[in-house]
Amino acid sequence: MTLIHLTPWDLAIAAILVLLLAAMSWWLRLGVERRVLIAAARSAIQLTLVGMVLKLLFAQTSLPLIGLMAMVMLSVAGLEVMQRQKRRYRGGWGYGIGAISMFLSSFSVTLLALTLVIGVEPWYQPQYLIPLLGMMLGNTMNGVAIALDNLTRNAWEARGKIEARLLSGQNWEEAIEDIRREALRSGLIPIVNAMGTAGLVSLPGMMTGQILAGSPPMEAAKYQLLIMFLISGGTGLGSMAAVWLGSRRLFDERQRLRLDRLVKASRS
């Protein structure tokens, strides 16, 4: 099967749909037309720049450059997690909890896949490392953001119940156990739903891309299955790390509830 190359005119035709969406938002007074246009422009610029950078990385296979790009990806993902919180942690914790959780989960699972499953030599081949890490960070970011937002929001709403449990003699882990469990469950829902509907309701993005690029459908299905298993593991690890770090931060060394460590975000 021959790969069909897209021209700028092809992309411009597809972009008309975005303009129609913005026009519908203006007509229906939804108030999101500006955000739609900005998001579309950002995605076009960002993906074009990434394509140029990846072309350079593929040609050189330089570990320092690959590491730099990986850190940039992690930094942006950490900022995105922080911005999605209705009540975020003060200071560097607002950024650090999400970034650390994604680093521990996404990087470890990606390294495991490259060395033990795919067996790339060297393991930092950018053709494999960057796409895998990007998918891991993107999906782990969603799980971590949802779990942290659920944790802080429910802890704030149930602060009286938590303090009553502490007064009754429970430690901080027991006092917030049900809230942590619910936060973790919420972080896992998106990937569980994605796995449950894959192939029946939708063809996942990687599989679709490989088929469009000319790969055999069964080979594309195997790679997509691998990616979904990796993402589920990474999302679970990242959400657990974020919920544990986040809940621990809500209490001081004397196990007192410290909701003053949270600040309400300027936007929801």
pLDDT of residue 29 exceeding 50: yes
How many structural domains is the chain composed of? 2
CB atoms within 10 A of CB 53: 16
pLDDT grade, residue 268 (50/70/90)?
Answer: very low
Give CA torsion, residues 67, 73, 75, 78, to 10 deg.
-140
The mean pLDDT of 227-231, rounded to a whole number, is: 88
224: domain range?
A: 63-264
Q: Does residue 53 sit in the same domain as residue 183?
A: no
Q: Does residue 189 sit in the same domain as residue 104?
A: yes
pLDDT of residue 3 exceeding 70: no
The mean pLDDT of 203-209, rounded to a whole number, is: 73
pLDDT digits (tens, 9 = 90+) for 144-161: 999 999 999 999 999 999
pLDDT grade, residue 122 (50/70/90)?
Answer: confident
Q: Does residue 104 sit in the same domain as residue 154?
A: yes
3-state secondary structure of 257: strand
Q: Which of 47-51, 75-79, 256-260, 264-268 has the lowest mean pLDDT?
A: 264-268
The mean pLDDT of 177-206, rounded to a whole number, is: 83
pLDDT grade, residue 203 (50/70/90)?
Answer: low
pLDDT of residue 88 exceeding 80: yes
The mean pLDDT of 230-240, rounded to a whole number, is: 91
Q: Does residue 107 sit in the same domain as residue 54?
A: no
Task: Please identify, among 11, 37, 60, the residue that sits at the C-terminal boundary of a domain.
Answer: 60
Task: Please identify, among 19, 43, 60, the residue that sits at the C-terminal boundary of a domain.
Answer: 60
pLDDT value of residue 202: 65
Q: Does residue 49 sit in the same domain as residue 173?
A: no
Task: Please identify, among 10, 32, 60, the residue that sits at the C-terminal boundary of a domain.
Answer: 60
3-state secondary structure of 202: strand
Which of 107-143 are b and which e, b meaning 16 or more Cβ less than 10 Å from the residue's Cβ? bebbeebbeeebeeeebbbbeebbebbbbbbebbbbb
pLDDT value of residue 56: 83
Q: Does residue 200 sit in the same domain as residue 76?
A: yes
